[in-house]
Structure 1
Amino acid sequence: MNNCGMEPAQKDRTPFSDIDALSGQMSEIVLDALTEMGRHPEIQRVRQVAFETLRPAAGQRLLDAGSGSGEVARMLAARVGGTGEVLAVDHSSAVTAAAISRHDGSNVRYSTGDVAALGMPDEHVDGVWCERVLQHVDDADRTIGELVRVTRSGGRICLIDTDWGSLAFDGMPAGLGAVVMAHVSGHFTPKQHDMGRTLRRRLVAAGLRDVTATPVTCLFASPASAAVVLPMVNPRVPVEAWATPPGLRDEWLACVDAAGQSGTFLAVLTIWVVAGTKG
């Protein structure tokens, strides 16, 4: 193992936290990653659980808070139909532009904004979808409070987020994986690494009722499958984006590739789907 003991020059936030501040190359990589993740069968499985939990219905006005490239907003629009609408809000102007460019004519309104300060009236929407956003915000409870504020009484709030503390690998040297994760934590994964498992507590504290929590364990049986969701096994992520000492990235990726070639690679990650009803 090549561990020279250097401290990584980590960023305070992951690239997904502020896409507009990235270089052109990194912005393109992140935008492509968002699209690829949305198509991944394991992410689609998580979203199916969330759709069943949110229960969107015809005629509703729904908020997609942190809407990314808009694929979920468009799926929600299909559920609410022509008499409903979906408000798709994302922090990134680049991502919002990408969402608008992919619009399919459904009843979605895209805008750039802060999900912690939406500028909407109280009780403005019938339900909220917020997927893998809270792990990146500065104050999750404040953001949840804003989502509750704009939701009508009786409306549903569905939060989907990752428990990065659940991430585990098999097929590679355990010690090497631990060293790599120590360097990329807070860089490829957010500092709020346990957000998913905290969502139930946060919704209860926010006063929601009938709170449900469903852990969905995503399984990745090959490096190619895992690389769509896990940047630390993706060889397309440029060297300069890594926060590891020289040589450690290449050593790790070589082990990942070897495990894939031998059929012994495995990665698992739990994403939580948590929802409640505003009283």
Structure 2
Amino acid sequence: MAQSKGYVDPEVLRVMANQLHPIKQRSYGLMHIQPGHKVLDLGCGPGTDTIPLAPLVGVNGQVIGADHDEAMIAEAEHHAEQAGVNTWVRHQRVDAMSLPFETDYFDACRSERLFEHLSNPAQALSEMTRVTKSGGWLVVMDTDWGSLSIDSDETDIERRLARYVAEGYLQNGYSGRKLYRLFKQQNLADISFEVFPAATPNYILARLGMQAERVEQEALRSGVINKEELYRWQMALKQADSEGVYFGSVNLLMVAGRKN
């Protein structure tokens, strides 16, 4: 099956889950989960959040992980079984634009780094709101790829690649900055927002997280850069890494709101 635009493989998601652990924990807290609650993780991937959510709801609760990728769902189910939580944690394939759940079903819903892959995130949030009970909480975290910054003297190439990530590589690369507006448009109450800078001097980790090899090759095919510029760019980054001065950053935004 052809990979979707901006596809992220499970191994990258697992690596990033470790790096984002404190932020993930914050998102769980904003969901106000109690034992016995039913919660939804939309865009669950290989179960990197559904399994940590399991002890929060307990055996009398329910965690549903939902994703469009059948391979991700299969892997998530496998991990839930390995973790011994599969009796109250399940995963299923869904269309985020039309969730197959009853209205007012979940006590809380979350989504993380999904909206950047959606052409209509407003509809996805509308569906999340619909399936959340009155008084329940919604938490969404997404990246503002417009804030991507990599230290380099090749500023022109860096800016072109950064813009390509936000506007060409992803469906909705500016999604993080749009979340507050989307929550307001859903008439959610007690809306809060937080910004988390993700910065690293680790060249290998940074390239893995932003899927740099794939981004660069697609930018090359799209005519955003040429072969000579790509070579210069890659050599500059490798030189920075060898000198121990590589640095890159991007901002993640988390918005929470309560359904009236």
The residue aligned with 2:112 is 131
Task: Please report how far the alpha carbon of residue 185 of structure 1 lies from its aligned counterpart in structure 2 after TM superposition.
Answer: 4.5
CA RMSD of aligned residues (A): 2.0
Please show how residues 32-111 of structure 1 align to structure 2 within 5 Å.
Answer: 32-40=11-19, 43-103=20-80, 104-106=83-85, 107-111=88-92
Aligned equivalent of 1:164, options 134, 141, 145: 145
188, 208, 216: which one pairs with 1:208?
188
- The reply on whether 1:194 has 2:149 as its aligned counterpart is no
Determine what percentage of the aligned residue pairs are the same residue: 24
Q: How far apart are 1:225 and its partner, in Å? A: 2.5
CA distance in structure 2 between the partners assigned to 1:128 and 1:185 by the alignment: 26
Residue 256 of structure 2 is aligned to residue 264 of structure 1: no
Residues 28-84 of structure 1, C-alpha deviation per residue, up to 9 Å, x if partnerless? xx22212222122xx223212212222322111000111000020111111111111
Identify which range, 175-184 or 114-123, moves more after superposition: 175-184
Letter matched to residue 261 of structure 1? S
Matched residue type, 1:230: M
Q: Unpaired runs of 5+ in structure 1?
A: 1-10, 17-29
**Matched residue, 1:218:** 198
Matched, 1:14 2:6: yes
Is contact 1:242–1:249 with CA below 8 Å preserved after alignment?
A: no
| Amino acid in the other structure paired with 1:146 | E
1:222-237 → structure 2 map (5 Å cutoff): 222-232=202-212, 235=213, 237=214
TM-score (norm 2): 0.89
Whether contact under 8 Å (1:209, 1:278) holds in the other structure is yes
Deviates more, 1:46-55 or 1:87-96: 46-55
Per the alignment, in what secondary structure is the counterpart of residue 228 of structure 1? helix
Shift of residue 86, structure 1, vs aligned partner: 0.3
Tell me how many residue pairs correspond in the alignment. 249
State the match for 1:178 in structure 2.
159
Offset of residue 211 of structure 1:
0.3
Residue 251 of structure 1 aligns with an amino acid whose one-letter code is: R
Aligned residues of 1:89 and 1:110 also touching (Cα < 8 A): yes
Counterpart CA distance in 2 for 1:145 and 1:238 is 31
> For 1:157, what is the secondary structure of its paired residue?
strand
Higher normalized contact order (CA 8 Å, seq sep 6+, divided by chain length): 1
CA gap 1:118/1:247 in 2 versus in 1, 3 angstroms: same
Gaps spanning 5+ residues in structure 2: where? 221-225
Contact kept, 8 Å, 1:135 with 1:195, in 2: the verdict is yes
* Aligned pair partner of 1:242 in 194, 205, 218: 218
Measured after TM superposition, the shift of residue 260 of structure 1 is 1.3
Aligned partners of 1:94, 1:34: CA distance in 2, in Å?
Answer: 13
